[in-house]
Copies of this chain bind each other. A is one copy, B any other.
Amino acid sequence: MFLKLLALCLFAFLIYAPIAEARIRRYKWEVKYEYKSPDCYKKLVITINGKSPGPTILAQEGDTVIVEVTNKLLLENLAIHWHGIRQIGTPWSDGTEGVTQCPVVPGDTFKYEFKVDRAGTYLYHAHYGMQRESGLYGSIRVSVRDNFTEPFAYDYDRSIILTDWYHKSTYEQATGLSSKPFVWVGEPQSLLIQGKGRFNCSSSSLKADTCNTSNPECSPYAITVTPGKTYRLRVASLTALSALSFQIEGHNMTVVEADGHYVEPFVVKNLFIYSGETYSVLIKADQDPSRNYWMTTNVVSRTPVNTSEGLGFLNYYPNHPRRSPPTDAPAGPVWNDTAPRLNQSLAIKRVFVFKHMYQTDLKAHHDFIVTPPTTSDRVIVFLNTQNEINGYRRWSVNNVSFTLPHTPYLIALKKKLHHVFSQTPPPEGYDFVNYDIYVQNPINATTTSNAIYRLGFNTTVDIILQNANTMLAKNSETHPWHLHGHDFWVLGYGEGKFDKNVDPKNYNLVNPIMKNTVPLHPYGWTALRFKADNPGAWLFHCHIESHFYMGMGVVFEEGINKVGELPSSIMGCGETKGFGKP
């Protein structure tokens, strides 16, 4: 009788187990420096459990992810950000050094725990100085809930991350950036597709033990496909600097998701992607199956200077995955042709409304529209400029170059340590009338500050990113801005100076896409709207590694009194030394 009951129990368990309750996904990571040759050039790379990129986190919407990270980086600390995860209720797990936590010292293990509350394509990466570009990054793929049907069909799901790659260490780069005179990091040596690239070893007098193109560590990354099948390819960029174009020889790509949101599908030959963005594209393996095809990525928007193109293979089974295609790798689009890039931001229809305003049209899928509030409670304009302060090169927002305090904001705010950062509110805009965005910012017109923007809880906030000239005459750069803790609606893009009386009338309030990262194009503006509904302290910054290092960011606070008890694990630096008990 007892055995029968047991058998029944087991049977019931087997039936119901697949109807997933939210599960816990546990990872144990060891982070260390290792010699690797991602682009055939041997240098120190930060690995997770021996790999860079690190392991892909696979979870389902509603799951809880727990990652226990042990720092084995010799003398170096770390912090890991979960890019695109909003950390609702767990702002202390955002992994942003100086904002939400103290760095994790060597020998210590830090536990990140958060809920992945929305299906989609996300990332993780170091968020401490310029540590990301040493190789500490990877993918997060959150599948939909059981019985949920996505608005497109595919047979298989794959992820790749595109990065650019430097041979100098993050210490060498950062020291140059903060030197007087300024030493620019320069263009990257290579582009990597899922951690693999190909540096031209013969271009300099390198020995074979330092650079060897026959090293299997740098054999091109291959995605193996079965002829006739459809693949969802999740493409993300974590470049330090470069804006990229990505293409697959002979295959169109249908864009179906961006930053975790379904988009009204559109077809591209080249996908333009900026650091911090993720896209899902559908690819049908419908070409001649007797050969392989090139996947390539190349730099756009900056003059290419000896940066080795990223190469990979779309491998048609049963061809050998390392068999080169019989063709030359396709060159990407011309680097300085901005029209197609802007077209993608706008997608398909390009409607001139005013001379400097487009209808934004990378729009939400018609079945998945999240309608934005029709008005906002506050509009903040962020003028993006490059500056020189006391001979040091900086980037600024409204002529304030951001610096991190030694005590993380989240702790300082929650514990009311008002003296650890400036309490003078930073500016809400700039001199709209007189400032000329087409000329250089005056020397020493800028200050540094660690002040933050405090937002009313649950208010609606508009951010206008306004681009301008750099320190170089007739030059303006592309800046991908990334917001922590939220998605925002992308209401509009435009050329030239934003006009607050005219441009808002043309915002897309009907079906705007939601994203967490958005490009600001040269001499243009980008308008965003978000709800300040996630208690915490959240960074908003240019995702170019050196730009944020040089001050291109701000911090928002909202609902700090609603933040739960902070774990003592995030403390230990600055004024939080000795806070709490273990």
**Which residues of A approach B to under 8 Å, CB–CB?**
33-35, 44, 74-78, 102-103, 105-108, 128-129, 131, 169-172, 174-176, 179, 183, 205, 404, 406, 568-569, 571-582
Contacts and interface: CB of A to CB of B under 8 A. Distances in A.
A107 B573 contact: yes
Given A35-B175, A35-B176, A108 B75 contact: no
Contacts of A179: 34-35
Minimum-distance CB pairs A-B, first 9: A107-B406, A578-B580, A572-B572, A568-B578, A75-B76, A75-B129, A205-B205, A33-B175, A578-B582
Nearest to A174: B74
A89 to B, nearest CB: 22
B103 A106 contact: yes
Copies in the complex: 2
Nearest to A107: B406
Nearest to A128: B75
Given A75-B170, A578-B581, 10 more contacts: A33-B175, A34-B179, A44-B169, A74-B174, A75-B78, A103-B106, A107-B573, A205-B205, A578-B578, A578-B579
A581 B571 CA distance: 12
B44 A171 contact: yes
A75 B77 contact: yes
Contacts of A183: 35
13 contacts: A75-B78, A77-B105, A103-B105, A105-B572, A105-B573, A107-B404, A108-B406, A108-B573, A569-B577, A571-B577, A575-B582, A576-B582, A578-B580
Nearest to A205: B205
A33 B105 contact: no
Contacts of A572: 105, 572-573, 577-578
Contacts of A172: 44
B108 A74 contact: no
Nearest to A577: B582
Nearest to A108: B573
A294 B265 CA distance: 77
